[in-house]
Amino acid sequence: MSVLVYTENWDGKFKKLSFELVSYSAAIAEMINTGVVALTIGQVEDEELKKLGNYGAKKVICVTGDSLKYLDNKIYTSIIAGIAEKENSKVIVFSNNNSGKAIAPGVAVRLKAGVAAAVNALPSSVEPFTIRKKVYSGNAFAHTVIKSEIKVLSLLQNSYDIKETANNAEIERVAWNVEPGMVKTEVLDVQKQTGKVLLTDAEIVVSGGRGMKSPDNWGPLVELAELLGGATACSRPVSDEGWRPHEEHTGQTGKIIAPNLYIAVGISGATQHLAGISSSKYIVAINIDKDAPIFEAAQYGIVGDAMKVLPKLVEAVRELKK
Amino acid sequence: MKILVCISNVPDTTTKIKLSADGKTIDTAGIQWVINPWDELSLTRALELKDDPAAGVTLVTVAHVGTSSSEPTIRKALAIGADDAIRVNAEPADAYFVAAQIAAVLEKEKYDIILCGIESSDYNGSLTGGIIAEFLGIPSVSSVSSLRIENGKPVIVREIDGGKETLTLPVPFVAVVQKGIAKEPRIASMRGIMTARTKQIRVYEPVAVNPLTEIVMYEKPAPRAACKFISPDNPAELIHLLQNEAKVI
């Protein structure tokens, strides 16, 4: 028996998200008296694989092979379901990120497993298996019972505290043969954002809304984000107007993020915007309208003109960093 | 090329969600039901492709699993421009159940591209599209932010962490779509609303499938503490609090 966690790697490296997933899986494994097997697909060095042991993985399986460079939902699904069968996994854990969303459903069907997607807590009971998940874009949580013998979970990012435990994981390398013609998706081109903190990884996010008044006013906002080592984001009207790139849109239909600190500048806080940011640990709102709904979601607020407040904030952070 | 757009019937996204007294259900009194926002965007994109003769799309059908109470939402999709509709007459129990129903329909009616929104704004699952593909044994692509058809070949852009990949794959396939697939949802015209009344909705009875999950209780997130206001003349105080009280910088 085991808990299997799919830990994606990014060019052979793991990140905070991976350690969160393994820590979470280790806690579930303890609840059902078993161990965690972590699975990654693609070329990863031993040293990097060993890191997953420090968060509770007993065994780390690294699957490599031709045709595995890009995510092909069918191929990845068959690998993960195959390993789950071999490891007799009762719970399979994914991240609720792009790749988790792409693969978890297929793996669940293969294993005849029910899925609780976007979970944000450990199971409240293992018999029946009951777990809390996000519904209504964070406006409510649903305690969901999974009735099947095998359970598939996808964990919301930044919803579980990373726990380090000294542990030496066994490493197993598996060569996976993909028959020619099995790979259906043919990747023609890849565009990667480089050098910037990814919005979905950022611990601190500084975000601008219509209250920024013009795309020309973003200078101090970007500077604040850089000084704090964070990423920049924006509200939907701003990306719709083309003031900022679409990749920055946070909100219900855009990116859903959960940083430690979200600073909303000139964002009124419509329900749809809050749906994308409400899981942030701390929210700071800067808005000229004291009745803006963003202040109901925020722990810290400044009522004032963003154009006047931002430069002062930049100054204060510069002082701090000296 | 025929496109099937799966649509879910959800509370309007501005709805303040209230729970029933026992917490076992959502209080639906006064809720406005709409097409799930991502499904509305997929429908818009499907119709844009149909409008472009070079794309060679001949039919756009919407599919929905729900009781007759969700027919207004289907009619809205027809008014926006879908050619016809399929409704599987059952309460949508969970993603596994819904996907099984759509897959059963697709055993009888053939479509080349099946579009599903990346999640429904009510259950936030991101599951139905992937499950349909697995049931049918056809490929799927998720996080799709662009879909074109060039010389009869689908060209898809999918979002990855910190970037995009452009790819192609043979039909039939399921595309699970997100923001970017269409700019703005298309709005029904008066003529669309009139013609929607005469468009066909094919009703299928459900296949027997047991849902694998069940929601037993709802909960509202704990309310946040009241906002602490800081003078706009002294933003340094905010930085001080973030460093020493919240300890996030």
Nearest CB among B134, B170, B214 relative to A184 is that of B170
Question: Encoding tokens for residue B133?
Answer: 């593909």
Same domain, A146 and A219: no
Nearest CA-CA distance, residue B200 and chain A, Å: 30
Residues paired with A284 in a beta bridge = A263, A300
Residues A210, A165, single domain; the answer is no
pLDDT at B223 over 90: no
The 3-state DSSP class for residue B113 equals strand
Q: Where are the domains of chain B?
A: 2-220
Q: Could A115 and B96 be called an inter-chain contact, meaning their C-beta atoms sit closer than 8 Å?
A: yes
Of B133, B161, B212, the CB nearest to A200: B161
DSSP A190-252: EEE--SS--TTT-SEEEEE-GGG-SGGG-HHHHHHHHHTT-EEEE-HHHHHTTSS-GGGBBST
Chain position carrying tokens 């050098």: A195
Q: Where are the alpha helices (DSSP H) in chain A?
A: 16-31, 46-53, 73-86, 98-110, 219-227, 236-240, 271-277, 294-297, 306-321
Structure tokens at A238: 């701003």
Q: Which of A8, A101, A147, A239 has the most B C-beta neighbours within 10 Å, making it the best mutation to test the interface with B? A: A101
pLDDT in tens, B95-144: 999 999 999 999 999 999 999 999 999 999 999 999 999 999 999 999 99
Could you read off the pLDDT of B13-29 as tens digits, one per residue?
999 999 999 999 999 99
Cβ partners under 8 Å of residue B165, min gap 6? A70, A187, A189, A190, A191, B157, B158
Residue A21 lies in a domain: yes
Q: Are residues A113 and A222 in the same domain?
A: no
Residues A163 and A311 occupy one common structural domain:
no
Q: Is the same domain home to A99 and A237?
A: no
State the pLDDT at residue A285. Answer: 98
Range of the domain at A27: 2-175
* Shared-domain flag, residues A20 and A148: yes
Regarding whether A133 and A47 lie in a shared domain, the answer is: yes
CA distance B77 to B82: 6
Distance from CA of B182 to the nearest CA of A (A): 12
Backbone angles phi, psi at B78, to 5 degrees: -70, -35
Domain-embedded: residue A111: yes
| C-alpha closest to that of A59 among A168, A155, A165 | A168
| Alpha-carbon span B35 to A258, nearest angstrom | 27
- A305 in any annotated domain: yes
Q: What is B2-220's CATH number, 2.60.40.420, 3.40.50.620, 3.30.930.10, 3.10.580.10?
A: 3.40.50.620
A316 touches chain B (CB under 8 A): yes
Looking at the structure, tell me whether residues A276 and A234 fall in a common domain. Answer: yes
Per-residue pLDDT at A47: 96
Q: What's the token pair of residue B188?
A: 């029904």
pLDDT of residue A65: 94
Among the listed residues A70, A293, A291, the one whose alpha carbon sits nearest the alpha carbon of residue A283: A293
Residue A117 contacts B, CB cutoff 8 Å: yes
pLDDT in tens, A92-144: 999 999 999 999 999 999 999 999 999 999 999 999 999 999 999 999 999 99
Same domain, A16 and A138: yes
Q: Do residue B249 and residue A317 have CB atoms under 8 angstroms apart?
A: yes
Q: Which of B158, B102, B164 is nearest to B133 (CA)?
A: B102
pLDDT given at position A286 = 98
Nearest alpha carbon to residue A166 among A26, A269, A8, A61: A26
Q: How many CB atoms lie within 10 A of CB A245?
A: 12
The answer to whether A110 faces chain B, any CB pair under 8 Å, is yes
Contact A141 B219 (CB under 8 A): yes
Q: What is the pLDDT of residues B35-50, one digit of tens each?
A: 999 999 999 999 999 9
Helices and strands in chain A, H and E counts: 9, 16
A309: left (phi over 0), alpha (psi -120 to 50) or beta: alpha
Residues of chain A with pLDDT under 70: none
Same domain, A15 and A139: yes
ipTM over 0.85: yes
Residue A248 lies in a domain: yes
When divided into structural domains, chain A yields a total of 2
For residue A120, give the CATH number of its domain.
Answer: 3.40.50.620
| Domain identity same for A149 and A225 | no
CATH code (residue A300)? 3.40.50.1220
- The count of residues in chain A is 322
Concatenated DSSP letters of B133-177 = HHHHT--EEEEEEEEEEETTEEEEEEEETTEEEEEE-PSSEEEEE
- % chain B with pLDDT above 90: 95
Instruction: Give B50's strand partners.
Output: none
The whole-angstrom distance between B69's CA and the closest CA on chain A is 20
